[in-house]
Structure 1
Amino acid sequence: METRKVQKTGGSSYIVSLPKPWAEQMGIKEQDRVGIVTRPDGTLIILPRLDQQHDEREKVFDWDEIGKENLMFRMLVGAYITGFNKITITSKARISAQIRTIARQFIDKAIGLQIIEETPNSLTIKELLNPAEMQFKVWIDRMSGLVASRLEDALRALVDKDAALAKDVIDRDVEVNRLHWILSRQHNLLIRNLAVSERLGPMEKRNFNYSLISRVMERIGDYAVRISENNLHVLDKTVDKTLINALIQAGGLAVSIFKKSIEAFYSDDINDANQIIESVRDLIKKCEAIEANVLGQDPVVGVSLGYINEAIRRTGEYSADLCEYVINFLIDQPPVVKKQEEHNS
């Protein structure tokens, strides 16, 4: 770490000189203005370019080196989430229909992207969103609503033996994934772009938590898929109605816990978050009782119902994780914690 001596001029101003190599590297000249940000821990950060809202970051992939469709798709997703706003795929041969299909599948599953240029040997994808307009709460609200509705539909399909609804739950998983991707992407941009972070002001710390919340919700959404996939395996089987009713009851409790965990995130109530975590114990007991009954079923039915039961239990446990994030977040904040007497009244 380089140190600088503080000087006082004019009777009231304190001056610290900028390192010359850094100033030259940033293109700073005499009379230029720089930004100064005071952080909560008392440190100062200097922003060399006040007019630069969003760095242009480009990632170039060589299809001839990658050569695998699944790897190409995953690398596109990785570049998007990392924060690159311009992605180019190149090939010594002509850009094939195969490459275009991969690119379009990626664009369809992401938010705010478009192919802006195609040449015989390259294809360029660009972000159209304004990173300064981050809609964290809007996306989280949409994502939590999608996850809850898909869980409810997965349980309804189990009761009604509705194959079409079960398949619809599976198909809608892409909507949850694309919201998780954009939240992860904007989180990474927030870390890189201090100017944007500073404009968010007091909400900054909560915005950083949105990425953690979306990751957990994406996993809970995957359990809606697991319930539906295993439901399809037993649609034509004879299943004990008592066991199905027990699964539905446990599933309803898991959905309720999930919804309450989201409410706790917005209410800033540590007592609520703690009670939700404790309520997961009841869900686990129900799931353990179901597991014991599943063992006596036909092997095919038993395996599928076991996976459904596990998905319900994990939904509750991940919802408890959300509440733990709430408590961890609030510990670093100055909220007024309700007295337990008021909370129970």
Structure 2
Amino acid sequence: MGRNPYIYFIVHIYSWSSMMEKRKIMVLGKSSRVVALPKKWVDKHKLQKGDEIIFVVQEDGSLLMYPRVPVVKKPRVLEIEIKLDSEKGLLERQLIASYLNNYSIIKLKAEKFFTNRQQQELRLGLRKLAGLQVVEASSNEIIIQNLLKLSDLDLQKSIHRAHLIASSMCKDAIKALEYKDSELARTVINLDEDVNQFYFLIAKQLRCALVDKSLVKALGITPIECIDYLLVVQRIEHVADHAKIIAQNVMEINGEEVPSELVKLILSFAHLAYKVYQNAVTAFLMEDTKLANHAINLRDELRTLKDKAKRIFEEQTTPSKVWVTLYLNEILNSLERIADYGTDIAEVAIDKALE
């Protein structure tokens, strides 16, 4: 399940601008131009006369400046106190937030001991978060270490892999509906955790990149592209969620007889919705504006198919058929959402191609 980090972006972009200082250029001799360094920055890095400063010219013409000897960053440690009667889901959400904020060590301290529910929440959270490892554990304290180095992870490959899993989930969910295959539907449901793991990993990379110019450079993207990539991976994660919902409804139908005309129409809708999503992600990765625009225009065909499906839904009056069509309606709604998310990705693809 996705979380929205846009507020985080705004706060930190603002914090960058609030740190800006003006310095006048001074002339030293006939050709030298000198700019004084901010005293706070000099003191922070313990710079002395004769120390070297490295300057790197950025693509936008700005200068990136850092000391010759880089400052060794201390591990960021977070301690979280866990109340015995903490609300359901709070521990898992705190763990995810700690992960997204890139703490090196997370110390969980229970008021008395970790309850069975809290232990289950912790295990569930850890399954979603790549690179976290429990290094110490007792009845009232758990220490978790982050083993990932974000600059070593290939952003493009991670997004592509998340997409491949979500795409496979969509195809298999549609196939499970067509052939009334509950076992295949169960496989789709189990894959959702893999997409969640990629989502949180990529979101963590992008959040950190927005406040760390060296990480942005290592990832080979610009700050504005961080927002593009985050929006896309959120939509991919949502697509996987709805593929899971489709599979769950297929299992609820459990091979029951369904109106053939309605199923045929939903399958046509499903293949078209999948095409919107597939073309949109391809357009984003390839920066293909023509393909992205084609994906957006497919929405008109989907509206026509949905109107036809609604009329058939309204005609179902037999109690057994009404029961089944409720699940089919849920499937249709999820397919429509998949197409919507594909359209969002296609729009980002056009924006990114013209940046």
Same structural fold, with TM-score higher than 0.5 when normalized by the shorter chain = yes
Confirm or deny: 8 A CA contact 2:313 2:325 kept in the other structure.
yes
Please identify, of 222-231 and 18-27, the stretch whose mean Cα deviation from structure 2 is larger: 18-27
Query: 3-state SS of the aligned residue for 2:36?
Result: coil
Query: 3-state SS of the aligned residue for 1:3?
Result: coil
Aligned to 1:329: 352
Aligned to 2:96: 77
Q: CA deviation at 1:190?
A: 1.1
Please identify, of 184-193 and 204-213, the stretch whose mean Cα deviation from structure 2 is larger: 204-213
Letter in 1 for 2:344: D
Letter in 2 for 1:110: L
Confirm or deny: 8 A CA contact 1:95 1:123 kept in the other structure.
no
Q: CA deviation at 1:99?
A: 4.5
Deviations 1:66-123 (A, max 9, x none): 7234111111011112222321101243456654443333222211110123356421
Deviations 1:230-283 (A, max 9, x none): 222222532111211111111111112211111111222222211211122112
| 1:1-345 superposed matches below 5 A | 2-9=21-28, 11-47=30-66, 51-52=70-71, 56-64=75-83, 67-94=86-113, 99-118=118-137, 121-201=140-220, 206=225, 208-297=227-316, 298-332=321-355
Please identify, of 122-131 and 205-214, the stretch whose mean Cα deviation from structure 2 is larger: 205-214
Please identify, of 210-219 and 18-27, the stretch whose mean Cα deviation from structure 2 is larger: 18-27
Going from structure 1 to structure 2, the CA distance change for 1:77 and 1:217 (only over 3 Å counts) comes to same
Q: CA deviation at 1:24?
A: 1.4
Going from structure 1 to structure 2, the CA distance change for 1:12 and 1:98 (only over 3 Å counts) comes to farther
Q: CA deviation at 1:223?
A: 1.1
Going from structure 1 to structure 2, the CA distance change for 1:134 and 1:50 (only over 3 Å counts) comes to farther
Letter in 2 for 1:312: L
Query: 3-state SS of the aligned residue for 1:125?
Result: strand
Q: Matched residues in 1 for 2:139 and 2:246: separation?
A: 45
Deviations 1:276-305 (A, max 9, x none): 111221122212211221222233222211
Q: Matched residues in 2 for 1:202 and 1:181: separation?
A: 19
Confirm or deny: 8 A CA contact 1:53 1:196 kept in the other structure.
no
Going from structure 1 to structure 2, the CA distance change for 1:210 and 1:54 (only over 3 Å counts) comes to farther
Going from structure 1 to structure 2, the CA distance change for 1:19 and 1:97 (only over 3 Å counts) comes to same
Query: 3-state SS of the aligned residue for 2:298?
Result: helix
Q: Matched residues in 2 for 1:296 and 1:150: separation?
A: 31
Going from structure 1 to structure 2, the CA distance change for 1:285 and 1:33 (only over 3 Å counts) comes to farther
Confirm or deny: 8 A CA contact 1:273 1:324 kept in the other structure.
yes
Deviations 1:44-73 (A, max 9, x none): 343458635866322211012772341111
Going from structure 1 to structure 2, the CA distance change for 1:269 and 1:88 (only over 3 Å counts) comes to same
Letter in 1 for 2:209: L
Please identify, of 98-107 and 281-290, the stretch whose mean Cα deviation from structure 2 is larger: 98-107
Q: Matched residues in 1 for 2:48 and 2:115: separation?
A: 48
Q: Matched residues in 2 for 1:53 and 1:19: separation?
A: 21
Query: 3-state SS of the aligned residue for 1:295?
Result: helix
How large is the Cα RMSD of the aligned pairs? 2.5
Q: Matched residues in 2 for 1:55 and 1:285: separation?
A: 58
Confirm or deny: 8 A CA contact 2:80 2:107 kept in the other structure.
yes
Letter in 1 for 2:240: G
Query: 3-state SS of the aligned residue for 1:156?
Result: helix
The count of corresponding residues between Structure 1 and Structure 2 is: 332
Please identify, of 176-185 and 78-87, the stretch whose mean Cα deviation from structure 2 is larger: 78-87
Q: Matched residues in 1 for 2:236 and 2:270: separation?
A: 16
Going from structure 1 to structure 2, the CA distance change for 1:66 and 1:110 (only over 3 Å counts) comes to farther
Q: Matched residues in 2 for 1:181 and 1:164: separation?
A: 28
Going from structure 1 to structure 2, the CA distance change for 1:8 and 1:121 (only over 3 Å counts) comes to farther
Structure 2 length-normalised TM: 0.85
Percent of residue pairs identical: 24
Q: Which runs of 5+ in 2 are unaligned?
A: 1-19
Going from structure 1 to structure 2, the CA distance change for 1:70 and 1:48 (only over 3 Å counts) comes to farther
Q: Which runs of 5+ in 1 are unaligned?
A: 333-345
Going from structure 1 to structure 2, the CA distance change for 1:254 and 1:49 (only over 3 Å counts) comes to farther
Aligned to 1:335: none
